[in-house]
Amino acid sequence: MNGAPITPAATGLRQTMAWIHAWLGLLAGWILFAMFLTGTASYFRPEITQWMQPELRPAVVPPAQAADAAVRHLQKTSPDDLQWFIYLPDERTSATRVFARAKPDPDAKAPPKRRPEFKLDPATGERLEARDTRGGEHFYRFHFQLQIPHPWGRWLAGVCAMFMLTAIISGVITHKRIFADFFTLRWGKGQRSWLDAHKASAVLALPFHAMITYTGLITLVVMYMPWPIKANFDKPDAFNAAAYGAPPEGKASGRPAPLRPVGPMIEAAAKTWGGDSPRTVIVRNPNDAAATVTVLRSTAGRLSAGAQSITFSGATGERLFQSPHAGPAVSTAGVMLGLHLGHFAGPTLRWTYFLLGLTGTAMVGTGLVLWAVKRRKPGTAPFFGLRLVDRLNVGTIACLPVGMAAYLLANRLIPADMAGRAELEVKAMFWVWFGLAALACLRPMRRAWIETLSLAAIAFAVLPVVNAATTNRGLIASLRTGDTLFAGFDIAFLVTATLCGFAAWRAGRPQRAPVKRQRRAAQAPDAAIAREPAEDVHAA
Amino acid sequence: MPLEPGLIGFAGLTSLALAMKKHRPGLNPRVALPPLAARGLGWALLGLAAAAAVWRFGAGMGVAAWLGQLSVAGAVLILLISWRPRLAPPLALAALACAPVLAWI
């Protein structure tokens, strides 16, 4: 690579793998960085949503009571709908979410209209008014749909994940000193330090990287490879019924019958599931003799994210259907999805996942920087490809965090009752991200790194201040009232700001210490590294 | 807080680093174990961490918790070794001492 003629002696397996690793990693790297960072943030998806609706502080009640309150509300607003969907609160989401689907219009062919979703107070069933926002859902959706129209975003994410998997395997083959270099990280040594950091972040969390990439691909495998199902089942519904069992989806009988209270059904379901709380309640044909109430099991605390459900008759309360014991394939799929989403994790494991996700982000980021650092020759002007990679690196690694901070800042700064504010928040993220990336192209390379990283530090440092100024849940107030969620966010913002500031300081250090730089220049460390025998093929 | 797998794992990884010629002088432990003993102790502690994870989380989630917390402990250790290597052995001992306390409460 890099212009050097490939001699037969140099074309070993490792060299080939290093070539694959460098180029596949580079091509997918920027998107992978964004997928890793926003995906990592998504481990706190419900928490981010809570943070982005600071006016909501509903009381915590048992799921059965919340379901009864929600049904009371829906009986008042839309008693004749086809379906009610009720998402019950748990320790991570404070409000009940509901939406309804109207009865299909017999004339129109379109599927029944979905009414807008809203939030209810779990205790009273009263409608909660809060600012319109996409919350943590935005980061989650972006990390596999990339804000590109369906299905192209998912396809692009899938291709990048396949590149990632290839890069992991080729990287392991390339890296011949996995155990000898296990704890090696040397600072301030240019290319060698970047290589150390890349290898350390990759090797130490290798089980996580391999797992998260593979399970991410598997999550959408039915979309990427639909043929096995197509070959064996006429309709997707037939496959779903065969794989997961099909709850009865009866038609309304037309005979009215009062809907029995759902609370006891939820308690009965929880008993069947060994005390696991139900997550979702779906009421079909309410107030009809053929009404059904389907209760879905929560995935919290279970490794498998596979859906389990029990269906009751809404008129008699009789148990009509229970999802069958999952077969090995369905169980495997459920565990894969569960491992990827991490819903099973309690707070400790969730933070573990979060830190591992950051390690993965660091691995991709250091890999991208390493590609550029390796090809930079002192004293010569960088070639076009290198300049492009440099700019894209700044635009992704330093500017995406600023964009994410802008999304959160926009949540606090856009008036709470403004129309279309949820879309404005999303726009704030992308305009700031891409706008800053474009502006950074106007600056000299080193200044671009320093300035964008400093901006990231400032943006995150400002978040707790803006939060304290625009809500009554600032850091001091939340520490005083024991509001761990809001205090946690403020502290996490400050830590992120510190890390970005540290990165900016490191990026700017040699220029601020001219004496030291002259001394180092006299020793010509870069040339020395170039002359040293290659430690492994990464550095070759 | 179920942090025992990570704490014991941190001690185990430190012990493994002590067994390596490259890191031994930097870590400068008060009590110098022979490399072979340090390696054996390290692997034994990693095994103990796995047992703690399974005890805390059950078999399936325990494996995820063990690997995950071990990775984070490794990342902390490598940053520590690159910054203040001498702090690693005493911190490993402290982590090991904290683990039973956490298990108790």
Q: What is the pLDDT of residues A145-162, one digit of tens each?
A: 999 998 999 999 999 999
A7 confidence band (pLDDT: 50, 70, 90): low
Query: Contact A352/B2, CB-based, under 8 Å?
Result: no
Note the pLDDT of residue A110.
Answer: 66
Q: Which of A352-356, B3-7, B24-28 has the lowest mean pLDDT?
A: B24-28
Query: Contact B74/A204, CB-based, under 8 Å?
Result: yes
* Mean pLDDT across A94-111: 80
User: Between A184, A200, A356, which is nearest B72 by CB?
Assistant: A356
Q: Over 80: is that where the pLDDT of A525 sits?
A: no
Cα within 13 Å of Cα(A279), Cβ side: 15
More confident residue, A42 or A245: A42
* Mean pLDDT across A56-85: 91
Q: What is the pLDDT of residues B43-72, one digit of tens each?
A: 999 999 999 999 999 998 999 999 999 999
Note the pLDDT of residue A325.
Answer: 83
Note the pLDDT of residue A531.
Answer: 36
Q: What's the sign of the alpha-carbon dihedral B55, B59, B62, B67? A: positive
Best CA proximity match to A285, nearest among A82, A73, A51, A58: A82
Q: Over 90: is that where the pLDDT of A166 sits?
A: yes
Report the mean per-residue pLDDT for chain A: 89
Instruction: Establish whether this prediction's ipTM goes over 0.90.
Output: yes
* Mean pLDDT across A204-227: 95
Q: Kindly report the nearest CA distance between residue A345 and chain B, in angstroms.
A: 9
Question: Greatest CA separation found in chain B?
Answer: 39
Q: Kindly report the nearest CA distance between residue B104 and chain A, in angstroms.
A: 17
Percentage of residues in chain A having pLDDT higher than 90: 71
Q: Over 70: is that where the pLDDT of A60 sits?
A: yes
Note the pLDDT of residue A528.
Answer: 38
Query: Contact B67/A201, CB-based, under 8 Å?
Result: no
The answer to whether B82 faces chain A, any CB pair under 8 Å, is yes
* Mean pLDDT across A352-375: 96
Contact partners, residue A328, CB within 8 Å, separation at least 6? none
Q: What is the pLDDT of residues A397-435, one digit of tens each?
A: 999 999 999 999 999 999 999 999 999 999 999 999 999
User: Between A183, A335, A352, which is nearest B72 by CB?
Assistant: A352
Note the pLDDT of residue A518.
Answer: 43
By the 10 Å C-beta count (0-12 exposed, 13-18 middle, 19+ buried), A531 is classed as exposed
* Mean pLDDT across A245-262: 84
Per-residue tokens: A439: 């502006």
Note the pLDDT of residue B29.
Answer: 83
Could you give the CA distance from residue A538 to residue A534 in angstroms, rounded to a whole number? Answer: 8
Q: Kindly report the nearest CA distance between residue B71 and chain A, in angstroms.
A: 5
Note the pLDDT of residue A512.
Answer: 36
Q: Over 60: is that where the pLDDT of A116 sits?
A: yes
Contact partners, residue A111, CB within 8 Å, separation at least 6? A104
Secondary structure element (H or E) that encloses residue A199, with its range: helix A191-204
Could you give the CA distance from residue A88 to residue A267 in angstroms, rounded to a whole number? Answer: 13
Q: What is the pLDDT of residues A173-198, one digit of tens each?
A: 998 889 889 999 999 898 999 999 99
Note the pLDDT of residue B1.
Answer: 79
* Mean pLDDT across A26-50: 97
Residues of A in contact with B57 (CB under 8 A): 349
* Mean pLDDT across A453-469: 97
* Mean pLDDT across B1-14: 95
Query: Contact A335/B60, CB-based, under 8 Å?
Result: yes
Note the pLDDT of residue A532.
Answer: 37
Q: How many CB pairs under 8 A join A and B?
A: 72
Contact partners, residue B37, CB within 8 Å, separation at least 6? none
User: Between A180, A187, A349, which is nearest B68 by CB?
Assistant: A349
Note the pLDDT of residue A11.
Answer: 66
CA A244 to chain centre: 26
Per-residue tokens: A128: 């909660």
A539 confidence band (pLDDT: 50, 70, 90): very low
Note the pLDDT of residue A108.
Answer: 63
Residues of B in contact with A202 (CB under 8 A): none
Q: What is the pLDDT of residues A483-504, one digit of tens each?
A: 999 999 999 999 999 999 999 9
